[in-house]
Amino acid sequence: MDRRQLLRAMTWAGCSAAAYPWLTSVTMAQGAGLGENRLIVVILRGAMDGLDVVQPIGDRDFAALRPGLPTSEINLSGPFALHPGLGGLQKMWQAGQLGFVHATSTSYRDKRSHFDGQTLLEAGTGMDVPIGAQHDGWLNRMLQSVPGLTAETAYAVGREALPLLAGKGASRAWTPEVKLVLSQQSQTLLDHIYHDDDLFREAGTEAMELSQELAGRVVRSANESTTGNSAMGEDKAWPDIDSLVDFAAGRLAGATRIAAFSLAGWDTHRRQVAAIGRPLSRLQRIILRMQSQLGPQTWGRTTLIAMTEFGRTARQNGSGGTDHGTGGAMILAGGALRGGSVLGNWPGLAEAALYDRRDLMPTSDVRAWAAWAMRGMFGLQRSVLEGAVFPGLDMGDDPKLIL
């Protein structure tokens, strides 16, 4: 029996799952080769509507396209306003620790499939490579390019993997919603089985220790959770989010340098006014709690990138929602970020300026922004980023994202 088979057997033998349908894996890597800076990547699954999150209220065509979706009064730079669901981030914006990229996208076009869009986003390739043909993720390829990493894959147990970090690069995976519960008799039996095997013994022991630690955090977070309905933009506790952030932040405060996880719930085909509130609250909680848990010193060396597979239609549909689109928005946060601006070339919302006369026209590649962030954080060479990490990418001019 190999290591993965053993851990899978342990899971089936003694695991109980607390199902959180909006939360997937958290994956981390550590190593001296990355220096002291930290990078957090959040995949927003379901196609976040960038036109609602970062509203171009100063564009004369915006209001006519979305008469049923309310506009925000939280002004950002230029013609843009922030959705009130992220209103708790205003102080971060004022401190220059929050930023956005608008009218950005992967190279995926026309078919608008969540599955294909996310596959391409996490693979980090262009359309010159068939979707699904790339078997590792761009963040893992970045790890492969850095010498001296010491992390090893411990185990991956959970509902959904993160292709973003799949590959040969050294990494560690943990899924917070799975709790390993073993009777004392079962634990004694397993200790006996792998007592003389260093690899199995260390992996199994770590699995049980981490599970027990996280289980305690889930209970504490649930006890801290607010009750009732929260006002839009209020910093509301989400027990599953809190446990994930606390787990990741505890390691980022130590040797870990990279954390990646995902947040779903962005597919707002109907009643978007109500539907988008929940994922916005959860995303805001990730950012604010990560800042709080890391503390000023570590947060000051941290950059968080939130990215989605594609945007949504410029026009609202007949159900008060929006459909799958093309150009979207990225969210950036962190003390290492040179924030306080909405980046990207704004194409406008006139019908002739829309992609296929229905979607926000992409004017930049999401990979370029991620590449410049990694160059600023970790000093990676442009040739490595354009060749190995994001094959075929032209990063363009330096936007100077990092302080």
DSSP 315-368: S--TTSS--B-S-EEEEEE-TTB--SSEES-----SGGGSBTTTBPPP-EEHHH
Instruction: Give counts: helices (H), strands (E), the chain.
Output: 13, 14
Q: How confident is the model at residue 12 (pLDDT cuts 50, 70, 90)?
A: very low
pTM attached to this predicted model: 0.82
**Cα separation, 135 vs 34, whole angstroms:** 24
Of the candidate ranges 183-187, 215-219, 245-249, the one whose mean pLDDT is the lowest: 215-219
The domain defined by 3-389 carries CATH number 3.40.720: yes
Segment (H or E) for 174: strand 172-174
**Cα separation, 344 vs 342, whole angstroms:** 7
Q: How far apart are the first and last CA of the chain?
A: 49
Q: Are 272 and 322 in contact (CB under 8 A)?
A: yes
Q: 254 is written with which tokens?
A: 């130590």
Res 207: pLDDT? 58
pLDDT of 299-323, one tens digit each?
999 999 999 999 999 999 999 999 9
Q: How confident is the model at residue 261 (pLDDT cuts 50, 70, 90)?
A: confident
Residues 6 or more apart whose Cβ sits within 8 Å of residue 122: 43, 137, 138, 162, 163, 164
pLDDT of 214-246, one tens digit each?
544 444 444 444 333 468 899 999 998 898 888
Residue 124 CA, distance from chain mean position: 14
Residues 6 or more apart whose Cβ sits within 8 Å of residue 318: none
Residue 270 CA, distance from chain mean position: 24
| Distances 104 to 50, 112, 309 between C-alpha atoms, Å | 9, 15, 10
Residues 6 or more apart whose Cβ sits within 8 Å of residue 368: 393, 394, 395, 396
For the residues 63-68, what does the mean pLDDT come to?
97
Q: Are 375 and 132 in contact (CB under 8 A)?
A: no
Q: 71 is written with which tokens?
A: 């506009």
Domain boundaries, the chain: 3-389
Beta bridge partners of 81: 55, 75
Q: Are 260 and 27 in contact (CB under 8 A)?
A: yes
Of the candidates 198, 157, 152, the one whose C-alpha atom is nearest the C-alpha of residue 174 is: 157
Q: 5 is written with which tokens?
A: 């088979």
Of the candidate ranges 155-159, 244-248, 250-254, 273-277, the one whose mean pLDDT is the lowest: 155-159
- Tell me how crowded residue 341 is: count the other CB atoms within 10 A of its CB: 18
Beta bridge partners of 355: 359
**Cα separation, 331 vs 82, whole angstroms:** 11
| Distances 290 to 147, 264, 285, 286, 385 between C-alpha atoms, Å | 28, 18, 8, 6, 27
> Tokens 């094959």, residue?
391
Res 165: pLDDT? 83
Segment (H or E) for 42: strand 38-45
